[in-house]
Amino acid sequence: MNSLYHKIISVEDDVEEWFDALLETRDFSFVMHNVECRLGKSLFDIKLWKLYLSFLENQREYRRLLETYSKYCQFFMDDEEMSEKYKKELATLGWSDVSTHEIYAFNR
């Protein structure tokens, strides 16, 4: 793990390489906590948000995926493409009868 730690630190400035290095740990909680910590420090890193959303979808972490989509859409209200993806995920996962307005209000 020591060499992996040094790799993660060495690629910190490149979000994609950093994310890939995190994935090498194969530890869901480790990836999740580190990404959410980094997002907390740089909320407007769209690339990281999208990498994380893709990761959650691949991990089939649907509840966290919807929560993260909701947060993303609250920060980037003008991103219609992601808003549509969020609505599609809501419908796919059985939340189609809840408006996104109610979902956004619920998270506040």
CA distance 19 to 14: 9
**17-65: per-residue pLDDT in tens?**
999 999 999 999 999 999 999 999 999 999 999 999 999 999 999 999 9
The reply to whether 83 and 108 lie within a common domain is yes
Q: How far is CA 59 from the centre of its chain?
A: 11
Question: Is there a single domain that holds both residue 5 and residue 39?
Answer: yes
Q: 3 and 33: one domain?
A: yes
Within this chain, do residues 7 and 39 fall inside the same structural domain, yes or no?
yes
Query: Are 71 and 34 in the same domain?
Result: no
Is the domain of 6 the same as that of 47? yes
Q: Calculate the alpha carbon distances from 77 to 72, 81, 83, 84, 100 in Å.
A: 8, 10, 8, 11, 12
Whole-prediction pTM value?
0.84
Same domain, 6 and 53: yes
Q: Are residues 5 and 53 in the same domain?
A: yes
Same domain flag for 4 and 55: yes
Greater model confidence, 96 or 54: 54
Total domain count for the chain? 2
Domain housing 72? 62-108
